[in-house]
Amino acid sequence: MVEGHSAELLAQVAALPALPGVYRYYDADEGVLYVGKARNLKKRVSSYFQKNHGGTRIGHMVGKIARLETTVVRSEAEALLLENNLIKTLAPRYNILFRDDKSYPYLKITGAPDKAISAGREGAAPSAQAFPRVAYYRGSVDRRHRYFGPYPSAWAVKESIQLLQKVFRLRTCEDTVFANRTRPCLLYQIKRCTGPCVNLVSPEAYHQDVLNAEAFLRGDTQAVLQGLEQRMMAHAEKLEFEQAAELRNQMAALSKVLHQQSVETVSDKDVDILAVQVHGGKACVNLAMVRGGRHLGDRAYFPSHIEDATAVQEFDDAEDAVHAQSVEVQVLEAFIAQHYIGVPVPSALITSHPIDPELGEALSQQAGTRIAAVHNPRGQRRLWLEMAEKNAQIQLARLLAEEGSQQARTRALVEALDLEPDQLDTFRVECFDISHTAGEATQASCVVFHHHQMQNREYRRYNIDDITPGDDYAAMRQVLTRRYARLAQAGRDTPEATPPEEEVEEAAPPPEPAPAPDAGAAAGKRARPGAGGSAQRLPDLVLVDGGRGQVSMAREVFAELGLDLSVIVGVEKGEGRKVGLEELVFADGRDKVYLGRESAALMLVAQIRDEAHRFAITGMRARRARVRVGGSQLEEIPGIGAKKRARLLQRFGGVRGVAAASVEDIATVEGISRELAEEIYRALH
């Protein structure tokens, strides 16, 4: 056994059963290092501790293992499903991880078909329930409506809706619009709708169009064409030539759509095509979707932790040559296992590399139906796969080019400001901006730039209260204090075991002791109290959107907190507020710096500043809308519905106006009694 691990841990490893299961490694800070599966837990886990791995990535991970957890399951397929559920939940450092981005859009047809036809009554006013609408939808599905998809993008859904409008002329208007129409809209005039809102089509005929649209979306195109042809001939035999001509035009439109879509086979109705490319230490999985026999487009995914994860995977597989895998196969299998958790799996997967049959078995077990994974396909499938592979190459090349550009910008900014970060890859910038409308709904935003890209999961918004409306300086003081007060306190509370002349560094490889001129300043400058909280360490650069005034306020806050002033930089608008003329203002007394219109460093500063501004203003608008609508306060008052709430807000100009009104004023609003006015007054005060 390898030295350096506790006797308790090694005893636990020795006592593991020779059964299939999942194991999890934890470090001393309870961070999850790795999640793995094994057909034989004892053999697999023991292999990590039976030899010295030296300075390899595997050795670096094994050296951090402080605790082990295992779960025994009945089969390796169950182990595979459990492993990837845990990977998605725990995000271990040494596993291949894909971002949980599965919010796919759907095409929705409202209502149930049996209820729709029964809702239409002869001579009655048109009912929205009798004439289902087709709509774009994103979110959880329910049984009240019919959903088709998922689609890879919003564009694919909207294109499909346009096809349904051209061929089957289904309505897309909201039910409220439908209920208040007195004459057909423009879509009827351009032959994109049959005008059900004004009874220009019978519920039976519209119902048939809905059924044909659903069959088309399922890929039953030949059945739809045959049904239309039979209906056309029946009308012609009855000398109903106008109706026959309408069906003829519908058949022509459908045939044109099918020709444009180049559907050469009806056997592949629902298929996912997955192609993987690995280059330059990065990987891309391109997922293309075929639904109802139509190619709907694709989406690219980029995993993280490729180097660390593949190093550990290679070590695992060396124990069993049968399971030796290339990096491409490891990435592809990780994507399939993680992506289809909670997402419908089509009956066929076409892959650029062969996958483990056990993975297909696990997917089938999860889906409750047989899932076929096809490698090296023929015919139309081959064309689809080649298209997906080409798109994966293009997306990966784009990513590498963008990352190279971002790294160059980071380096340019570090050099321009004469900074000395620990590592260029860990250079961290936090930028603050204040947004409000004439003092109303003031919000501050904090955006984070790290690892050469914006880290939107680390963005934060701060509601600013208890200040004079419109006082941006007070708002900046409040947000900086709230952001960094805990960090400063953590720096002052650094354990005495840390030598006062050393800086408190991150846990990962221990750095060389670096003497600091002042213990308090050192703790304030680089205190990193752990892997949690809003600000884990003082960033290398704190940008504030503003000139000398905002920088002076930031300097006061940092001086009070005992933090390093040299990290504060203000972005001051140039002459005429023109883009490219910005100057940088420093809190430590350095002269202003003009980087130049073509400077890569200024491009990065502008990118971060603009993102902070966008994030602040969207939050401010959302908060302002909530205040003006008054949903949080007026909706909670019994007896106040949508109409009364709208009347109150319209009369008094918002919730603040309602709150400032007297009981007598409130009672003058239509529909508001004296008793209800008193209830409203009490609720708002």
Query: SS3 for 476-540, per residue?
Result: HHHHHHHHHHHHHHHHHCCCCCCCCCCCCCCCCCCCCCCCCCCHHHHHHHHCCCCCCCCCCCCCC
Nearest to 304 by CA among 328, 279, 325, 282: 282
Does residue 513 have a pLDDT over 50? Answer: no
Architecture in CATH of 424-626 = 2-Layer Sandwich (3.30)
* Torsional sign, CA 304, 98, 371, 221: negative
**7-90: CATH number:** 3.40.1440.10
Q: Number of H helices and number of E strands within the chain?
A: 24, 18
Task: Note whether 7-90 and 424-626 share their fold.
Answer: no
Q: If you count them, how many residues does the chain have?
A: 685
Using 50, 70 and 90 to split pLDDT, how confident is the model at 310?
A: low
User: What is 430-446 written as a DSSP string?
Assistant: EEEEEEEETTEEEEEEE
**630-684: CATH number:** 1.10.150.20
Using 50, 70 and 90 to split pLDDT, how confident is the model at 569?
A: very high
Chain segment 532-558, per-residue pLDDT in tens: 344 567 899 999 988 888 999 999 999
Terminal-residue alpha carbon distance, the chain: 70
Sort 29 into a burial class: Cβ within 10 Å, 0-12 / 13-18 / 19+: exposed
Planar angle of CA 259, 262, 266, nearest 5 degrees: 105
Chain segment 186-196, per-residue pLDDT in tens: 998 888 898 99
Paired tokens of 237: 């035999």
Compute CA distances 531 → 17, 87, 91, 508, whole Å.
Answer: 33, 18, 14, 12
Average pLDDT value over all residues in the chain? 78
Q: What is the rounded average pLDDT of the residues 553-570? A: 90
Compute CA distances 539 → 264, 425, 572, whole Å.
Answer: 57, 13, 20
pLDDT score recorded for residue 351 = 94
The residue type of 96 is I
**Is-contact 373 396, C-beta < 8 A?**
no
User: What is 21-43 written as a DSSP string?
Assistant: EEEEEE-TTS-EEEEEEESSHHH
Q: Where do the structural domains in the chain lie, given as residue ranges?
A: 7-90, 270-397, 424-626, 630-684
What number of other Cβ atoms are within 10 A of residue 666's Cβ?
22
Could you tell me where the DSSP H helices lie in 296-378? Answer: 306-318, 327-339, 357-367
**Is-contact 22 37, C-beta < 8 A?**
yes
- Report the run of H or E that residue 421 belongs to, with start and end: none
Does residue 6 have a pLDDT over 90? Answer: no
Using 50, 70 and 90 to split pLDDT, how confident is the model at 246?
A: confident
656: helix, strand or coil = helix
Distance CA 121, CA 117 (A): 9
Say which residue, 383 or 100, is predicted with more confidence. Answer: 383
Locus of tokens 């208007």 = 173
Distance CA 629, CA 623 (A): 10
Using 50, 70 and 90 to split pLDDT, how confident is the model at 72?
A: very high
Does residue 116 have a pLDDT over 60? Answer: no
Half-sphere exposure of 621 (CA within 13 A, CB side): 6
Class of domain 270-397: alpha beta
Distance CA 415, CA 503 (A): 23
Say which residue, 679 or 315, is predicted with more confidence. Answer: 679
Beta pairing, strands 440-450 & 294-301: unpaired
Using 50, 70 and 90 to split pLDDT, how confident is the model at 124?
A: low
Using 50, 70 and 90 to split pLDDT, how confident is the model at 577?
A: low
Give the single-character DSSP code of 321: G
**Is-contact 542 430, C-beta < 8 A?**
yes
Percent of the chain whose predicted confidence (pLDDT) is above 70: 79
**Is-contact 608 454, C-beta < 8 A?**
yes
Q: Which residues pair with 570 in a beta bridge?
A: 544, 585
